[in-house]
Amino acid sequence: MKFKGTAAMMVAFFSLGIYYFLIDLPAEKKKAQEKEIAGKVLPLQSANVSEFSLIKKDKTITLQQNANNIWNLSQPLVAVGDNPETDSFLSEIEALERSRVVESDPKNLSQYGLEAPSFKIYIKFKEGKEETLLFGDDSPMGGKVYLKLKSDPAVLLATTSKTTFDKSVYHFRDKTIFNFSSGSITRIQIKRNEHPLDLVREKEEWKVSGKIQAKADKDAVLAFLQAIQFSRVKEFVNDKPDSLEPFGLGNPTTTLTLKDENQKSYSIHLGVTENGSYAKKENAPGIFQVDSKFLNTLEKRNIDFLLKTLIEFEEKDVAEINIKSEKETVQAIRLEKDNWVIKSPKETLADMATVRSLLFDLKEAKLTEFIRADAPEAFELDKPKRSFSLKTSDGKTITIQFANTNFNGDQVFAKRAGESAVFSIPKETTKKIFRSFHELRDKKLFKFEAEDINKIVIETQQTLFEMQKSGSTWSLLKPEKMEIKNFLGNDLLWAMKGMEFESIVETGIAPESTGLVPVSYKVSLWKTKSEKFAELQVGNLDSNSQQYYAQIEGKKGYYQIKKKYLDSLPRELDKFKLQ
């Protein structure tokens, strides 16, 4: 019985829920909507309006909405309408709420300014209904206006301003100069007496064409196109002029032409007279004025678009680096992702950290300024003494040619191969770019994995120290067996692994002054008790450079190594003992 009672309650609760959602809730929403509509002066939706007119004493402005919901002016002239502005205007009408009904059936409309209203808004709905909204005087209390619908005798008071609705033809007219997509434009031309502009897009790359030939900054080009795209007509001057001469358009001072991927052209002519600047689109009769921002945009020159990034590239795409200076030519080639070799002036491994540093500095390098577009011989760039080039994995080569410095010596003149524009870059930047063969080569003395080394021997002229590894623990076996500092063995291996030479003499016998015959001491690394991996033989310390002379057993030539690398190696028994 208890279960039956619970089930009955659930059924009742469920039924009440259905009733609320299907009956009560829609009814509540309907009442709320009716209450909201009841407070409106003229309920409407822009999509339901087919035509409206703003009727003034001296002019009527009419707009009609076509099948595609596009608004067009039909009087006082035929023109494309400004859709956002038009929809906003109708939204203002829709939002009008009456504060109160002043008189339900007034006998004298003139006291409210409604006998001869300031202006009227006629609206025709798509279903055929028509209505006219009359605007009278402002309320003496301020902030409110007397209104009246033509179909209703009542005089209403609404909180609004007549300036919200008293619009000109300009307000409703499409003020777009050009309707295009920035990404579709492939050519930009500006014709004028001085400094003509010609930019051409090839695939995704913009180039400056004409007298100056150079790579363009795509961001600068995009900013230019967007400035044109979002420019608007400042004032419509004359839609059907008898002559272009009074506006300086018989012989325009400037002509802008854009071409897109489909070869469609967008052209505008500018003329200048004593009365101001005027514009006219190609194949359109109307004359209008543009704002100063648009005029300033058209004053851009080729030099404003030149790429100020020295070289644009992705590090992963670089396959080859060539550095030519007065002293040497260095060629480095990538074998795989993080493996570079130097092919010239001598084949050897490259230092990866230095290569990465070079590419980073190159990617960050910026031009100081563009100097001029011709006569490279004036800067000694017709026969450059220095050059830097990158070759990418797709076979493309980018080359920068460098010349002499400026008068102050802090800037270097340069140009990109295949381009005519000469520019300057900071001297410090060129120092970062022109790395020498010695800087780029791998200067590590030894390459090994620490876990592969199981014995270390340090032999001085007086004593031999032998360290042996058992598992992960190092012990000293000679000159006497003893426990040593736990970290000492691994620290020694890290010191040897990170050891680099500062200079190298790769041929000939080391002179006596190096102290390498006989050596001061030796450090040898062993994989096993009987298999030696390498031996470093250390000589004298050069007092001027504070570098040790050294050589590697079995290799020709000798090195100079910074004092810091070798002074850390223990050569006295006390250095091994536990404290």
Q: Are residues 51 and 168 in the same domain?
A: yes
192 lies in some domain: yes
**pLDDT value of position 115:** 93
Q: Are residues 341 and 436 in the same domain?
A: yes
Q: Select from 220, 229, 179, 177 the least CA-distant residue to 201.
A: 220
**pLDDT value of position 141:** 81
Q: Which domain holds residue 351?
A: 315-440
Which residues are CB-neighbours of 457 under 8 A, at least 6 positions away? Answer: 464, 465, 466, 467, 522, 523, 524, 526
39 lies in some domain: no
Q: Can you tell me the distance from the alpha carbon of 108 to that of 463, in angstroms, rounded to the nearest whole number?
A: 126
Of 412, 440, 468, which marks where a domain is finished?
440
DSSP string, 404-454: EE-TTSSEEEEEETT---EEEEEHHHHHHH---HHHHB--BS----GGG--
Structure tokens of 36? Answer: 């909201």
Q: Are residues 287 and 361 in the same domain?
A: no
Q: Are residues 154 and 193 in the same domain?
A: no
**pLDDT value of position 241:** 94
Q: How many domains does the chain have?
A: 4
CATH number, domain at 242? 2.60.40
Q: Are residues 296 and 357 in the same domain?
A: no
Q: Are residues 555 and 461 in the same domain?
A: yes
310 lies in some domain: no
Q: What are the counts of helices (DSSP H) followed by strands (DSSP E) for the chain? A: 12, 36
Q: Are residues 54 and 138 in the same domain?
A: yes
Q: Can you tell me the distance from the alpha carbon of 63 to that of 79, in angstroms, rounded to the nearest whole number?
A: 9
**pLDDT value of position 484:** 87
289 lies in some domain: yes
Of 400, 422, 440, which marks where a domain is finished?
440
End-to-end Cα separation, the chain, in angstroms: 89
Query: 411 - beta bridge partners?
Result: 426
**pLDDT value of position 578:** 78
88 lies in some domain: yes
Q: Are residues 488 and 409 in the same domain?
A: no
Q: Select from 516, 527, 510, 540 the least CA-distant residue to 457.
A: 527
Backbone angles phi, psi at 215, to 5 degrees: -75, 140
CA angle 212-216-221, nearest 5°?
120
Query: Which residue shows structure tokens 């050589």?
Result: 551
**pLDDT value of position 7:** 63
Burial 246-285 (b: 16+ CB within 10 A, else e): ebbbeebebbbbbbbeeeeebbbbbbeeeeebbbbbeeee
63 lies in some domain: yes
41 lies in some domain: no
Q: Are residues 466 and 488 in the same domain?
A: yes
Q: Are residues 478 and 501 in the same domain?
A: yes
Which residues are CB-neighbours of 122 under 8 A, at least 6 positions away? Answer: 52, 53, 55, 130, 131, 132
pLDDT in tens, the chain (579 residues): 455 566 666 665 665 656 555 554 454 444 444 344 458 999 888 789 999 999 999 899 999 999 889 999 999 999 999 999 999 999 999 999 999 999 999 999 999 999 999 999 999 999 999 999 999 999 988 889 999 999 999 999 999 999 999 999 999 999 999 999 999 999 999 999 998 999 999 988 999 988 778 889 999 999 999 999 999 999 999 999 999 999 999 999 999 999 999 999 999 999 998 888 999 999 899 999 999 999 999 999 988 998 899 998 999 999 999 999 999 999 999 998 889 999 999 999 999 999 999 999 999 999 998 886 556 666 778 778 899 999 999 999 999 999 888 888 899 999 898 888 889 999 999 999 999 999 999 999 999 999 999 999 999 999 999 999 998 899 999 999 988 887 899 999 999 999 999 999 988 788 999 999 899 999 999 999 899 999 999 999 998 999 999 999 999 999 999 999 998 899 888 888 876
Q: Can you tell me the distance from the alpha carbon of 121 to that of 160, in angstroms, rounded to the nearest whole number?
A: 15
Q: Are residues 248 and 275 in the same domain?
A: yes
9 lies in some domain: no
Task: Report whether 392 contacts 184 (CB < 8 A).
Answer: no
**pLDDT value of position 373:** 56
Q: Can you tell me the distance from the alpha carbon of 433 to that of 442, in angstroms, rounded to the nearest whole number?
A: 18
pTM flag (> 0.85): no
Q: Are residues 323 and 299 in the same domain?
A: no
Of 242, 272, 305, which marks where a domain is finished?
305
